[in-house]
Amino acid sequence: MTSSRASLRYHSQLRQSASERRAESHPLTWRLREDGALIGLDEYVEKEGYAAVKKVLGELSSSDVIDTMKEANVRGRGGGGFSAGVKWSLTMQGGDLPRGYIVCNADEMEPGTFKDRLLLEQQPHLLIEGMILGAYANNSCYGYIFLRGEYIEAANALARAIDEARTAGWLGKDIAGSGFDFDIALHTGAGRYICGEETALINSLEGKRANPRNKPPFPGQSGAWGKPTVVNNVETLCNVPAVMQHGAKWYQGLSGGLSDDGGTKLYGVSGRVNRTGLWELPIGTSAAELLDRAGGVQDDRALKAWLPGGGSTGFLLPEHLELALDFDTIGQYGSRLGTGLLTVVTEDQSVVSLVRNLEAFFARESCGWCTPCRDGLPWTHKILQSLERGEGEQGDIELLESLATDLGPGRTFCAHAPGAAMPLESSIRHFRHEFEAGIAHRRRAAHEDPIPVGEV
């Protein structure tokens, strides 16, 4: 067993057993094996793999696929939550327009997130099938999987699966005798968080610096190499085969009435809990249930706060644990569902230190394109360092609040800085006293007797 595999088993092992996971209730994970081994082409086909491709390419039009995705209300699982069906309907296609591209965002650099890694390493054919269906709906001639460079095992699994699919005729010319041509290339990135922004990803794919592009035009009109391009997250695309195989009403029913959003979600928990891991559950499941599945907080510590979906989401409190983990509900409480992987914070942890660590990451990962992000994030980090050391000055907290506003939505070129501002703003709102303590220490020190000269 490699160290990478051992780490994956420990940090992100799917907690349901095979008997609990069923095709009708767990479309993303029911095929996964108990030993976590890679599912090859033969096993995937035995478990209804590529059945949706046969059905769609043989019976449905591209507009049928888009309408079904809209009705199913498959919302982007990368963090944005935008309807995949609506996004596909905005992609320019038909007439004299050239065929475009479909790009899978497999960069997964959101702090505390590891859901896509599980699918990539253990079930890569599900992603390939989803991309074929997405390409058919969007009139794409070619697909790219933009993979985080550190995901070595995922890269090996994907490369093998692409070769298997191409050899078996699921990729290439005349797929399943349908007359539809489509192929996929694997592209490993150099490791930049900003590539989670779809136009920065496209620039990087083209060999350019990973800066976001001005919009409009949107990628659906002019994306990779000037052609219509649709970009979707791994988990989003992995939902497509089941939707097309079983229908929109079935997919909507998976939530069990917990949410207006459709389907299931790969939820996860990290931080100081007894069992970190991933669970495929109906979207709208509460954070309380998820925390219970994680075995609760370690050593019966008191829960102080939690992040609902990675480092770029806002802190929520213990009284928010009963909220439905869906896009709209979490948004009403000043945060975002994001990737749906909770980070647990206990009472003995310093919020100032946690936020300082997050802002150091966001400052480092800024592309430097716009001033608020390029200058504001390092400034934020510097102030937080001073507060963490108890060397803060009067006005520092107000300055941080001002910076959070300047970094917020509509003030910067892309969503990188607003994502960084969310944990900063929410932490001050909920735990202002911890930030004030970083100034009080300096104030107390100012009243102490000075050290006589010569005794330093």
What is the tens place of the pLDDT at every residue in 8-40?
443 445 777 766 778 889 999 999 999 999 999
Report the pLDDT averaged over residues 182-196.
Answer: 93
Which pLDDT band, with edges at 50, 70 and 90, does 80 fall under?
Answer: confident
Report the pLDDT averaged over residues 160-170.
Answer: 98
Which pLDDT band, with edges at 50, 70 and 90, does 442 fall under?
Answer: low
Question: What pLDDT is recorded for position 1?
Answer: 35
Residue 149 has pLDDT above 80, yes or no: yes
Identify the architecture of domain 351-446 in CATH.
Answer: Up-down Bundle (1.20)
Question: What pLDDT is recorded for position 4?
Answer: 42
Contact 369, 199 (CB under 8 A): no
pTM of the model: 0.92
**What gap in Å lies between CA 28 and CA 241, rounded to an integer?**
9
Question: What pLDDT is recorded for position 444?
Answer: 55
> By mean pLDDT, which of 112-116, 284-288, 451-455 is the weakest?
451-455
Which pLDDT band, with edges at 50, 70 and 90, does 455 fall under?
Answer: very low
Residue 190 has pLDDT above 60, yes or no: yes
Report the pLDDT averaged over residues 309-325.
Answer: 97
Residue 268 has pLDDT above 80, yes or no: yes
Which pLDDT band, with edges at 50, 70 and 90, does 381 fall under?
Answer: very high
DSSP code per residue over 214-272: PSSSPTTTS-GGGS-EEEEEHHHHHHHHHHHHH-HHHHHHTTTTS-SS-SEEEEEEEES
**What gap in Å lies between CA 7 and CA 9, rounded to an integer?**
5
Q: Give domain limits for the chain.
A: 3-253, 264-346, 351-446
Identify the architecture of domain 264-346 in CATH.
Answer: Roll (3.10)
Closest of 327, 330, 323, 291 to residue 79, by C-alpha = 327
Question: What pLDDT is recorded for position 376?
Answer: 96
In whole angstroms, how large is the CA radius of gyration of the chain? 23
CA 167 to chain CA mean position, Å: 31
Assign domain 3-253 to its CATH superfamily. NADH-ubiquinone oxidoreductase 51kDa subunit (3.40.50.11540)
Question: What pLDDT is recorded for position 95?
Answer: 65
Report the pLDDT averaged over residues 335-362.
Answer: 97
| Residues of the chain above pLDDT 70, percent | 93
